[in-house]
Structure 1
Amino acid sequence: MDLKAVGQIAKTSFSSFRRLVNSGVSLFLYQPTGSEPEEYHKWYYNTFVWNKTKWLGVDTWKSVSDMWNYQEILSELKPSLIIEFGSNRGGSALFFAHVMQRLGHPFKVLSVDINHSILDPAAVNDPDILFVESSSSAPEIAEQIQRLKEEFPGKIFAILDSNHERDHVLAEMKLLRPLLASGDYLVVEDSCVNGHPVLPGWGPGPYEAIEAYEHEFPSDYAHDEGREQKFGFTFAPYGFLIRN
């Protein structure tokens, strides 16, 4: 090897070492102030970028980091039944179905909304999704869930994303109380409203519903704080819950 080649290798090695050192120093010196996740959350919510989020062309209306969290939860939990309150156009139900189809575990997605007139055909035509048009707090829904539990025994993943008023969410949580067993997973979405940290004028919503529920039933759930905090912000603050 000639001296020119040796010199080039040495130069490259020194340059790589310098970049490594500079990167290490910058990681040490540049630390977040603590406000970044909250400000990003406000930007994400207030620009309505979530309103432009699609899964394979179907409107989904979720935080993409929350959706990534959900697929990780599903892959670990391997539920037999997914309960979704709030269907919108069916994008999230389709997302859940596609994740579960890849896992290869028998399952059913039950998606409930008071009006299904805007459902996307791509979601409606998925054989693993059952769309039911009803209030999510109706007793008939509890009966439907019980029948599906018998048909698809195993773990349950439930997500609440319908009417975001405290009393309605509280009613949903109480409806699910006798239906969820130890180890089942519940996500209460949009607990970010009413100043947590967005839409401070909303009024009591999902966050306050969780507080009210836990005041009445303090031992029902453990908070999965690791999931909640994983990506810095979530549309479900205080709302990643594991049934005790």
Structure 2
Amino acid sequence: MATLVSLRRLVNSVAAVAFYQPTGSEAEEYHKWYYNTFVWQKTSWLGVTTWKSVSDMWNYQEIIADLKPSLIIEFGTNQGGSALFFATIMKRLGQPFKVLSVDISHKHLDPAARRDPDIEFIESSSTRPEIAEQIQRLKSEYPGKIFAILDSDHSMDHVLAEMKLLRPLLSSGDYLLVEDSTVNGHPVLPGWGPGPYEAVEAYEQQFPDDYTHDVERENKFGFTFAPYGFLIRN
């Protein structure tokens, strides 16, 4: 009897996989639901608010575990949850590292994140020359791979300026994430205007050989807040 039950379950499982296939619109519709319900604003890491897609966060930790960077650069701190998330992962990897998190204002920064000694918070525009100088200093202190993520001002011009600032600072194999390229109809907030997605397009028109798109990572979980934004430096 147990064998028959197991066989029936196996047949039903195979049939379900064969006949109950997605239509192709599910990921985009879920993306819209996830964004437009603002559930991402109710996400936290160790009690600190983290405005991310949880599937992106899982993807990021996999990338970091593979890359084993010594320096993580975050443009856009907000409350500090993502910086704390990155620092937590890096501690588990067990090598010297620093997380640099930059934001125009730290008035919303959670004290729990601010207290982490492995995170350096800078209150500044991410495109100021002083930020490039600080990254260069940290590179000398923490040599190795870099994981950088852009999540500050989501206008095309600003993100393009951030990408250009990082251009001489990132080396072959380093990883760049351009977040919120989902806005301006990709597929949410269609009236936003040119944003991060268009910034990547504009950058690649000027520097077509700088990056390879990590399409496998981008598509891994069906949707991402960084479409067209998973980039590996050539």
Q: Structure 2 length as normaliser, TM-score?
A: 1.00
Deviation of the 1:185 alpha carbon: 0.1
Alpha-carbon distance in 2 for matches of 1:222, 1:157: 15
In the alignment, which residue of structure 2 is the partner of 1:125? 115
Deviation of the 1:117 alpha carbon: 1.2
In the alignment, which residue of structure 2 is the partner of 1:206? 196
Alpha-carbon distance in 1 for matches of 2:215, 2:90: 24
Q: Deviations over 1:32-75 (max 9, x none)?
A: 11100000000000000000000011000100000000000110
Percent identity over the alignment is 79
- Structure 1 segments, 4+ long, off by >4 Å, are none
In the alignment, which residue of structure 2 is the partner of 1:87? 77
In the alignment, which residue of structure 2 is the partner of 1:43? 33
Alpha-carbon distance in 1 for matches of 2:20, 2:96: 47
Deviation of the 1:194 alpha carbon: 0.2
Structure 2 unaligned blocks of 5 or more: none
In the alignment, which residue of structure 2 is the partner of 1:28? 18
Alpha-carbon distance in 2 for matches of 1:231, 1:118: 30
* Equivalent runs, 1:91-170 vs 2, <5 Å: 91-170=81-160
Tell me the SS of whatever aligns to 2:147: strand
Q: Deviations over 1:141-162 (max 9, x none)?
A: 0000000000000000000000
Alpha-carbon distance in 2 for matches of 1:26, 1:97: 41
Deviation of the 1:24 alpha carbon: 0.2
Tell me the SS of whatever aligns to 1:22: helix
Name the Cα RMSD after superposition: 0.4
**Residue from 164, 170, 191 that aligns with 1:180:** 170
In the alignment, which residue of structure 1 is the partner of 2:3? 13
Deviation of the 1:12 alpha carbon: 1.2
**Residue from 64, 77, 85 that aligns with 2:54:** 64
Q: Deviations over 1:11-31 (max 9, x none)?
A: 111011001101101100111
Alpha-carbon distance in 2 for matches of 1:124, 1:198: 32
One-letter amino acid of the counterpart of residue 200, structure 1: P
In the alignment, which residue of structure 1 is the partner of 2:232? 242
Tell me the SS of whatever aligns to 2:165: helix
Deviation of the 1:89 alpha carbon: 0.3
Deviation of the 1:133 alpha carbon: 0.4
Q: Deviations over 1:164-212 (max 9, x none)?
A: 0000000000000000000000000000000000000000000000000
**Residue from 205, 220, 228 that aligns with 2:218:** 228
Alpha-carbon distance in 1 for matches of 2:58, 2:123: 27
**Residue from 194, 200, 215 that aligns with 2:205:** 215
One-letter amino acid of the counterpart of residue 109, structure 1: V
2:186 paired with 1:196 = yes
In the alignment, which residue of structure 2 is the partner of 1:3? none
Q: Structure 1 length as normaliser, TM-score?
A: 0.95
